[in-house]
Amino acid sequence: MQLGIIGLPAAGKTSIFELLTNHVDGDGNIGRPNLAIAKIPDQRIDFLSNLYHPKKTTYAQLEVIDVPALIPGMAKSTAQFLDSVRKADALLMIVRVFENENAPSYSGEVNPIKDIEDINYELLLADLDLIEKRIQRINENKKKNTMLKELELLEKIQAHLEEGLRLSSLELTDAEADILSNYQLLTSKQMLICLNICEDDIVESHYNGKEAVYEYGRRHNLNIIEVSASIEKEIAQLDEEDRNIYMQELGIAESGVVKIARMMYSSLGLISFFTVGEDEVKAWTIKEDTMARKAAGKIHSDIERGFIRAEVIKYEDLYEWKNPVQVK
């Protein structure tokens, strides 16, 4: 699975990327995308590893791509950067809420709703440009009559985008959705909004415009989470005991990395199952409602082909009893 990170300049986008992936690029990602793997923290994996003492522990992984900051009005460079995240399964939009005189906001003011709208507008323009070019190619094609269904759908999409609406809000038939998936359109992807707030905002659980941002999210069906990149950097440098104490003092129930991973999994309908043993404890990512045979294929295609049945244990039961023999 791949997560694309987008945002305006000075929003803390690359800081979030580095926290997610534990990858630091010396010169940032000026002028080019940055790709790294994020290990998804999971207390269940931690528990299973402590229980089985495996030689190896493998967490679920997520490929994360951080593109250079989007600059509204710079159509050519923006389109080029956005092309880098067209293959992403979801987009994480980093939106600045924190105040910092030493690092002024790109627009001169901290206005999260305006920033969200500016970024969405760039996504709409990029998708519209792609659709218009495809419509033109079909109209110029001698075999146009064999592409009428596709042309009809593209014109439907074009009209929707021209109204300033994301494609995720457009009702499509299964056949139309199949055609649409070939285009990897940005506004059809799951969008997660990450508000980058400051320490005081976390302690007070409030900041100027909070209610308006969440109301905007509800109206536009956008998932919103709050993370403080500056606090997360401090947390990441602490050992587990000090980390837990510090988080309790701030009233933080879970780290920003866990928040982002959990919301992405939920938005995309993903779950994890685990294989355990002395050699390895490992998390595997699958879609919700995946049949056992298909899930077995994630481990190895031979297991799927020769599948007879699966022996499973509910994590909650194992956590309660601490002994797989007793659970059985």
- Residue 35 belongs to some domain of the structure: yes
- Based on the domain organization, do 15 and 80 belong to the same domain? yes
- Based on the domain organization, do 298 and 257 belong to the same domain? no
pLDDT digits (tens, 9 = 90+) for 91-145: 999 999 998 887 888 888 899 999 999 999 999 999 999 999 999 999 998 888 8
Q: What count of other Cβ atoms lies within 10 Å of the Cβ of residue 111? A: 18
- Based on the domain organization, do 11 and 68 belong to the same domain? yes
- Residue 172 belongs to some domain of the structure: no
- Based on the domain organization, do 46 and 6 belong to the same domain? yes
- Based on the domain organization, do 42 and 7 belong to the same domain? yes
pLDDT digits (tens, 9 = 90+) for 20-57: 998 776 555 567 899 999 988 899 999 999 999 999 99
Please, where are the H alpha helices in the chain?
Answer: 13-21, 43-52, 75-83, 112-140, 148-162, 174-181, 199-204, 210-219, 229-236, 240-250, 256-268, 292-299, 301-305, 315-321, 324-327
- Based on the domain organization, do 14 and 60 belong to the same domain? yes
- Residue 150 belongs to some domain of the structure: no
Q: What count of other Cβ atoms lies within 10 Å of the Cβ of residue 296? A: 22
- pLDDT score recorded for residue 26: 57
Q: Nearest 5°: phi and psi at 266?
A: -65, -45
CA 183 to the chain's CA centroid: 19
- Based on the domain organization, do 264 and 280 belong to the same domain? no
- Based on the domain organization, do 208 and 192 belong to the same domain? yes
- pLDDT score recorded for residue 28: 53
Pairwise pLDDT comparison (76 vs 122), residue with the higher score:
122
Kindly state the average pLDDT of the residues 284-311.
93
Question: What is the average pLDDT score of the chain?
Answer: 90
Residue 294: give the domain boundaries.
Answer: 272-327
- Based on the domain organization, do 220 and 283 belong to the same domain? no
> What is the value of pTM for the model shown?
0.89
- Residue 154 belongs to some domain of the structure: no
Kindly state the average pLDDT of the residues 211-239.
92
Using the predicted structure, report yes or no on whether residue 74 has a pLDDT greater than 80. Answer: no
Question: Which of 250, 270, 290 corresponds to the end of one domain?
Answer: 270
Strands 90-96 and 2-7: parallel
Residue 77: CATH number of its domain: 3.40.50.300
Count up the domains in the chain and report the number.
Answer: 2
Which residue is listed with tokens 């079909």?
138
- Based on the domain organization, do 7 and 101 belong to the same domain? yes
- Residue 104 belongs to some domain of the structure: yes
- Based on the domain organization, do 190 and 93 belong to the same domain? yes
- Residue 224 belongs to some domain of the structure: yes
CA–CA distance, 103 with 14 (Å, rounded to integer): 14
- Residue 144 belongs to some domain of the structure: no
3-state secondary structure 249-285: HHCCCCCHHHHHHHHHHHHHCEEEEEECCCCEEEEEE
- Residue 225 belongs to some domain of the structure: yes
CA–CA distance, 177 with 182 (Å, rounded to integer): 9
- Based on the domain organization, do 234 and 313 belong to the same domain? no
